[in-house]
Structure 1
Amino acid sequence: MKWSELSIHTTNEAVEPISHILHEAGASGVVIEDPFELTKEREDQFGEIYQLNPDDYPEEGVIVKAYLPVNSFLGETVDAIKESVNSLIVHNIDIGLNKVTISEVNEEEWATAWKKYYHPVKISEKFTIVPTWEIYTPVSSDELIIELDPGMAFGTGTHPTTVMCIQALEKSVRPGDRVIDVGTGSGVLSIAAAMLGAEDVRAFDLDEIAVTSARLNIKLNKVNDKVTTSQNNLLDGVEENSADVIVANILAEVILRFTDDVARVVKPGGSFIASGIIQQKKDMVKEALISSGFEITETILMEDWVAIIAKRV
């Protein structure tokens, strides 16, 4: 089978929404080429560091690549993707150069092209993300391993917004907690919550593809006895005071729309972890949370991204 590699030259701010657009269009996986990775300092004790080729990265901005099957609908699919990306401007998202290029690759080249980017990565005190095709030996007895297949949905869980969420979950989840993951994507946050001792985790996503992918990852990590996944629009229809912790790794614009709903669903004294927020919109989200009855307990910063831990007063 032949595949088309669709490449979009954009900004770091637009990576998450563009990745979502590409998955909705039928991409089996995305590759993010961020020049920041060339200079990012990492500890090499976990064996995840390998030599990156500067020629694979843009001098500025970020390139997001997706792989789509070459068929009679490809032209219409690409046009729809371009239109959706252009519409991000309406939401005040900087899409940068927004240069789109297309090239053709065969199936073997496609598999090699995106799998070479993913290796085991230690992302927090407790968690290591391991692609399913990699062999990894835990460094310590209390290390928690999350296995993910990036081809199923939304990357390997190593994006700063996801890393900050997992670090926040480590601080917030207690054994026996009830957790809701809004916009679950690959299911990685729900998996982490279950591994941290949550008794009941509900993973919601509006995207049917994400729901299917999350279920596969949840089963792969053997936490399907604690995690249920369903298609749902944010917290619509969820009962009051039914969660100890709610986590949402989505766009700031979406978080602003449902802070009152979060306050309704999370128990008094419970926590809301919000991520996917660019620095410029940090104060807007904080103000909305305070207005909805939350107290900001911690702000986590990583690269150009922000995660907020808030307590329901």
Structure 2
Amino acid sequence: MTDEQAEAVAEILSRFAPQGVAIEKKLVESNSYTPDMLKVYAFLLVDKELIQTKRKIEEATWHLSQIQPISQPKYREIRDQDWMTSWKEYYQPISVGKQLLILPAWVKGIETDRIPILIDPSMAFGTGVHPSTQLCLALIETYTQKGKPIIDIGCGSGILSISSILLGASHALAVDISPAAVQSTKENATLNQIASKIETSKGSNWEILSGQFSICNAHLVIVNILANTISKMLEQDLANIVADNGVLILSGILDSQASDITLCAETHGLRLKKEKKSGEWVALAFQKEQ
């Protein structure tokens, strides 16, 4: 399956598998992979709800398969004593950009010249595996300004806010429409010992623009969500959250959607500054003109 299909399957499985969801890519020597090398794993408890849970998963994935071709799920039982190591083995340290190293929360004491970012993947809100997150992080490395705040809309696991602060941002406003994502950001910020530097809350661009938080604009604004949502936010004055001469990073965009997003952004006073690609995914950095 493709990255987009894997992300859709992972979203479905995360509804039913609070114990963890993992996307596994088997890289070949060229550091690339083919669709048959990409798998999604979910870890379910064997309890009285298991039969019903499996039925719901199969119904949801069947409906998805009518839109794009995916295989139906397969199951394998894991003994209790193997539980923790079985799901943790799918999460390994990931080097991103020039400076960052994403580490599962249980990995300790790694010697590295990179900036370590601890993320708990059991929360299923973005672990840095997906290309859209990695592209976004690479742009954050470029555009984070030391001593200045950032705004992260659709914060998920908080990985983007956390990375910005560890790269020198003074503090972050991280919002998401999902209360579970807000909680995930709080917990991951605590893991990285920067909880006091991240203001987290349920919300989106509307709440920011209405002045409900400590800041209502920033020199770096980050949005890593679906392209259709980005388009709607641009039409809803997203550009007003970006300070003059500031940068807006948009990710979660397919290559086929990039031109439409760029056109929409440019009609709202944003100029394309940089574009990064990975496979079918694109991340865009725009500068707000005065």
Alignment TM-score > 0.5, same fold: yes
Question: Cα distance, 1:139 vs. partner?
Answer: 3.3
Deviation at 1:277, TM superposition (A): 1.3
For 1:69, what is the secondary structure of its paired residue?
coil
Q: Determine if the alignment matches structure 1 residue 137 to structure 2 residue 113.
A: no
The CA RMSD over aligned residues, in Å, is 2.6
1:270 to 239, 246, 255: 246
Q: How many residue pairs were aligned?
A: 283
Rounded to whole Å, the distance in 1 between the matches of 2:178 and 2:232 is: 18
| Whole-angstrom distance in 2 between the partners of 1:247 and 1:85 | 31
- In structure 2, what is the equivalent of residue 246 of structure 1? 221
Range that drifts further, 178-187 or 25-34: 25-34
Residue 300 (structure 1) shift: 0.1
* Partner residue, 1:41: 31
Residues 61-120 of structure 1 deviation map (CA, whole Å, 9 limit, x = unaligned): 732111122333344444444555566689xxx632242233332333332222112222
Unaligned segments of structure 1, at least 5 residues: 1-9, 43-56
TM-score, normalised to structure 2, is 0.86
SS of 1:276's equivalent in the other structure is strand
Counterpart of 1:259 in structure 2 is: 234
The structural deviation recorded for 1:216 is 1.0
Structure number with the higher helix fraction is: 2
Matched with 1:114 is: 87
Long gaps (5+) in structure 2: 211-215
Q: Which one-letter code corresponds to 2:39 in the other structure?
A: I
- TM-superposed deviation, 1:296: 0.7
* CA distance in 2: counterparts of 1:120 and 1:83, whole angstroms: 34
Matches within 5 A, 1:110-259: 110-140=83-113, 143-232=114-203, 234-239=204-209, 242-259=217-234
Letter in 2 for 1:303: G
| 2:47 counterpart residue number | 71
1:269-288 map, 5 Å: 269-288=245-264
CA–CA separation in structure 2 for the residues paired with 1:169 and 1:197: 11
Deviation readout 1:138-159 (Å, 9 max, x if unpaired):
333xx31111221233353232
Q: How does 1:18-57 map to 2 (within 5 A)?
A: 18-35=9-26, 37-41=27-31
Q: Which residue of 1 aligns with 2:269?
A: 293
1:63-102 matches, within 5 Å, as 63-82=39-58, 84-85=60-61, 95-102=68-75
- Paired with 1:116 and 1:305, the residues of 2 have a C-alpha distance of 26
Greater relative contact order structure (CA < 8 Å, 6+ sep): 1
What is the match of residue 305 of structure 1? 281
Contact 2:61 2:72 in 1 (8 A): no
Report the CA distance shift for 1:250/1:89 in structure 2 as closer, same or farther (over 3 A): farther
Post-superposition offset of 1:271 = 1.1
Identical residues among aligned pairs (%): 30
CA distance in 1, matches of 2:217, 2:41: 39
